[in-house]
Amino acid sequence: MKKNPIVGAIFLMAAFLLLVPSAQAQKTKKKAYEHTVVEIPAGQRTVIPVETEHTQLVLVAQANRVLQTLHYGNRIADPQAFGSLRTFRDSGNGSGPMAFPTAGGKYLGEPALHVKYTDGYHNTELYYTGHDVHRSGDVVTTEIRLKDYVTQLEVKLVYDAYQKEDVICTHTEILNAGNLPVELVQYASGSLYVEADRYLLTHFHGGWAFEMGMDSDILTHGTKVIESRRGTQVTQCNNPSFLLSLNTDRLQENEGEVIAGALAWSGNFRMSFELDESDRLNVLAGISPHASAYTLASGATFVTPDMIYTYSRRGAGQASRNLHAWARHYGVYGGGNINPTLLNSWEGAYFNFTTETLLRMIDDAAGMGLEMFVLDDGWFAKDFPRNSDNAGLGDWEVNTDKLPEGIDYVASYAHEKGLRFGIWIEPEMVNPQSNLARNHPEWVVQSPGREMYQSRNQWVLDLSNPAVQDFVFGVFDNTMQLSGNIDYIKWDCNRTVANFGSEYLDADQDRFYVEYTQGIYNVMRRIREKYPDTIVQCCSSGGGRVDYGALKYFNEIWTSDNTDALSRVYIQYATNLIYPACVMASHVSAVPNHQTGNVTPLKFRFDIACSGRLGMELQPRNLTDREKALADRCIQSYKQYRDLVFNGDVYRLASPYDGDFYALMYVSQDRKRAVVFTYCIKYQNRAVGGHVFRMDGLDPGKQYKVTELNVDRSRWWGSGKVHAGDFLMEGGFNPLLLQTFDSAVFYLEAQ
Ligand code: GLA
């Protein structure tokens, strides 16, 4: 039979009408989001300047409501001019320099924010909905509200602009205003688009006993990532900080454009530098997304840590000074205070001491004019005594076999001698050889069925668990109760995480790394409420937790377990590019150095240690009388100028990476006083022994009396005389540093 085409068509249409609605209904059922909002009115461009005294970040909400970064640099009088700027650099996808790029829309680069929604889709497009500005003292805060037009995700970009310091801190608050949970796949703190012809990235890497090594590379197209996935001890590989020099091949101290940045987070972090096809660079800094997809419940907000940055037109020197000034006022706990000089027991006694050993060390410390004694590892645990690093962590009771009179006896003795007293703890860790490991195996970081790898014979406690947070707080609290005379705690953390996992988090293992770090911060907040005046040092096998997140709670860092003065030249130089000298604990130790075997003169060791927070870490009984007299002299002179080290402005006069000398100076804010440190780190041609250092940082119009410290007779012809500031700045200062490890320290006073 011949088919009737009309009947066939009617039949097909009927089938279509019957089938399609049900398919559509099914689809709608699965769909979690509708394309609803268009409450965001398109319109004029809105220019949002985030300003400090000398710098300006200009964000512009374009007519299509996309927020872009159009300027970060020197401040201009009328930032509205950027409202009409047309940028000719555009990535092929046409997304432009977004202020907070998201995975979605036309943006195809590395996103600051990548969200996966419950319906399985990955697109987020944020549009500007408004902003507020408010001022509190020296800080102007700009809060910019952005919203995704489908999923109701709301993002607030918060910029704190520190006026005098020229520093901007930015963080992001992500609110899930929808009805369903969402998964934050990537959630950086901030993004910074920069335009230049050439980008030189300087960043810091290292490991145990060689922290803060320095790499400077010209960025090529693609993405350079600096990351740590270590969970704990995160900065024993990379540091969450950088210097970005624009349009130059060299890191310059006094010239050129430099952006310095850091992330205030003590856990896994990620910084990426993506140079795109339009030669524009996007800098992202935030928590590492590694194994950390974060589920945000309906109504919940996630607040990222701060990304901190500053802009300098006067090289790395000004960038450091900006960061340091900010750190001293806002970024470091107790910043601005002068922390005491000290003798630490570790390298002088290790685990082998009695009460008598400690009392004699206290006598010697007092005799040399030091101000505190710190009892390091080895004082605790009874059933599994801490006489080596293979037992005892977790059992924080005094080992009365070793110290029968207890801690209070030693601490009170120190106080009687006029010294303060400090003590070491490592509360996040446990040795398998301990009662704690036996009583609370569920508190140990582990993954079911997998090897529990030991490192330094220890495991990590699971700080994502609030019960463990209580325990760790208790370790600090109980230690403080051992004596009313404890002034200082050295908080250590000696290993990284392996086979991460938390019994407490159960199916939510993705939260482990973030909640571990938040767990430490919870504990530190409680500690600071109860013990606001206790000085707390952040140690992690040396500089394993050096970041501005930790420094909100800690007064200082143990810069490195490497106490060799030559190694310290490089470690301290780089640390001080980002972190102020007031946090850099720096100790004079014995020779041959226990880490490197190097032998350096005692004077050189002191002159290096005195450029940070001075301490000693050796057995004073092993010093000769002459050495003790030199120690005494260096400690006395340090007290005369250390306010400059702690609170002055740093000027680096010679980089150890550039030649055979290292030199730096700290200057008072009024430029009336200064201390200058000069070192020879490698023998060179005798004919250039009198090396010229330009004393940048002085007032050229002032007259300064220059006196070399810690010597009977200066080898510099100009010591003890008055010189014009401009003479010292322009070539008149040429101390004689002939041999390797010659060093000279000068004190300057305006007349
Ligand atoms: C770590 C620290 C050292 C010292 C030892 C004690 O290595 O960095 O300073 O405290 O632990 O075990």
Helix, strand, coil content of the chain in percent (nearest 5): 25, 30, 45
pLDDT of residue 170 exceeding 70: yes
Q: What is the mean pLDDT of residues 655-684?
A: 96
Ligand 1 contact via 558 beta carbon (within 6 Å): yes
- The angle subtended at Cα 172 by Cα 170 and Cα 173, nearest 5°, is 145
* Structure letter (DSSP) for residue 415: H
pLDDT of residue 709 exceeding 90: yes
pLDDT of residue 329 exceeding 70: yes
Minimum CA distance residue for ligand 1 atom 8 = 541
The CA distance from 48 to 66, in Å, is 13
Minimum CA distance residue for ligand 1 atom 1 = 541
In the three-class reduction of DSSP (H, G, I as helix; E, B as strand; rest coil), residue 353 is classed as coil
- Dihedrals φ, ψ of 706, to 5°? -110, 125
Nearest to 585 by CA among 598, 571, 597: 571
Q: How far apart are the first and last CA of the chain?
A: 119
- The angle subtended at Cα 468 by Cα 467 and Cα 471, nearest 5°, is 95
Which residues are CB-neighbours of 99 under 8 A, at least 6 positions away? 59, 67, 68, 69, 144, 157, 191, 193
Q: What is the mean pLDDT of residues 88-117?
A: 90
* Structure letter (DSSP) for residue 178: S
The CA distance from 737 to 138, in Å, is 44
- Indicate the pLDDT class of residue 152, thresholds 50, 70 and 90: confident
Task: Mean pLDDT check: name the lowest of 9-18, 362-371, 721-730.
Answer: 9-18
Q: What is the mean pLDDT of residues 232-256?
A: 97
Ligand 1 contact via 561 beta carbon (within 6 Å): yes
pLDDT digits (tens, 9 = 90+) for 657-669: 998 999 999 999 9
Q: What is the mean pLDDT of residues 694-708?
A: 98
Task: Mean pLDDT check: name the lowest of 98-112, 594-608, 648-662, 674-688.
Answer: 674-688
Q: What is the pLDDT of residue 36?
A: 52
Q: What is the mean pLDDT of residues 35-52?
A: 75
Tokens 């606001």: give the residue: 532
- Indicate the pLDDT class of residue 42, thresholds 50, 70 and 90: low
The CA distance from 475 to 157, in Å, is 37
- Indicate the pLDDT class of residue 34, thresholds 50, 70 and 90: low
Which H or E run contains 57? strand 55-61
The two most distant CA atoms of the chain are separated, in Å, by 123
Contact yes or no for 695/676 (Cβ under 8 A) = yes
The CA distance from 48 to 61, in Å, is 8
Contact yes or no for 421/487 (Cβ under 8 A) = yes
Residue 211 CA to ligand 1 center (angstroms) comes to 15
**Which tokens hold the place of 128?**
């500007």
The CA distance from 509 to 507, in Å, is 6
Ligand 1 contact via 708 beta carbon (within 6 Å): no
**Chain mean pLDDT for the chain:** 94
The CA distance from 65 to 128, in Å, is 5
Q: What is the mean pLDDT of residues 172-185?
A: 96
pLDDT digits (tens, 9 = 90+) for 129-146: 999 999 999 999 999 999
Q: What is the pLDDT of residue 90?
A: 74
Contact yes or no for 498/447 (Cβ under 8 A) = no
Q: What is the pLDDT of residue 212?
A: 98
Cβ neighbours around 485 below 10 Å, total: 17
Residue 351 CA to ligand 1 center (angstroms) comes to 11
pLDDT of residue 10 exceeding 80: no
Q: What is the mean pLDDT of residues 735-747?
A: 96
**Which tokens hold the place of 49?**
């300047």
pLDDT digits (tens, 9 = 90+) for 256-305: 999 999 999 999 999 999 999 999 999 999 999 999 999 999 999 999 99
Q: Active site includes 632? A: no
pLDDT of residue 8 exceeding 50: no
Q: What is the mean pLDDT of residues 68-76?
A: 97
pLDDT digits (tens, 9 = 90+) for 540-560: 999 999 999 999 999 999 999
Ligand 1 contact via 376 beta carbon (within 6 Å): yes
DSSP 642-686: HHHHHHSEEEEEE-TTTSSEEEEEEE-TTSSEEEEEEEE-S---G
Residue 541 CA to ligand 1 center (angstroms) comes to 6
Domains, the chain, in order of start with CATH, read 2-331 (2.70.98.60), 342-647 (3.20.20.70), 652-750 (2.60.40.1180)
pLDDT of residue 19 exceeding 60: no
Tokens 């270590």: give the residue: 230
Question: Among 166, 395, 492, 607, which one carries the catalytic annotation?
Answer: 492
Q: Which residues pair with 674 in a beta bridge?
A: 667, 748
Q: Active site includes 561? A: yes
Minimum CA distance residue for ligand 1 atom 11 = 541
Burial category of 20 from C-beta neighbours within 10 Å (exposed 0-12, middle 13-18, buried 19 and up):
exposed
- Dihedrals φ, ψ of 5, to 5°? -65, -30
Q: With pLDDT > 70 as the criterion, what percentage of the chain qualifies?
A: 94
- Indicate the pLDDT class of residue 41, thresholds 50, 70 and 90: low
pLDDT digits (tens, 9 = 90+) for 449-483: 999 999 999 999 999 999 999 999 999 999 999 99
Q: Which atom of ligand 1 is nearest to the CA of 542?
A: 8
Contact yes or no for 535/555 (Cβ under 8 A) = yes
pLDDT digits (tens, 9 = 90+) for 211-223: 999 999 999 999 9
The CA distance from 693 to 730, in Å, is 9
pLDDT digits (tens, 9 = 90+) for 610-630: 999 999 999 999 999 999 999
Contact yes or no for 666/644 (Cβ under 8 A) = yes
pLDDT of residue 173 exceeding 90: yes
Q: What is the mean pLDDT of residues 218-237?
A: 98
pLDDT of residue 359 exceeding 60: yes
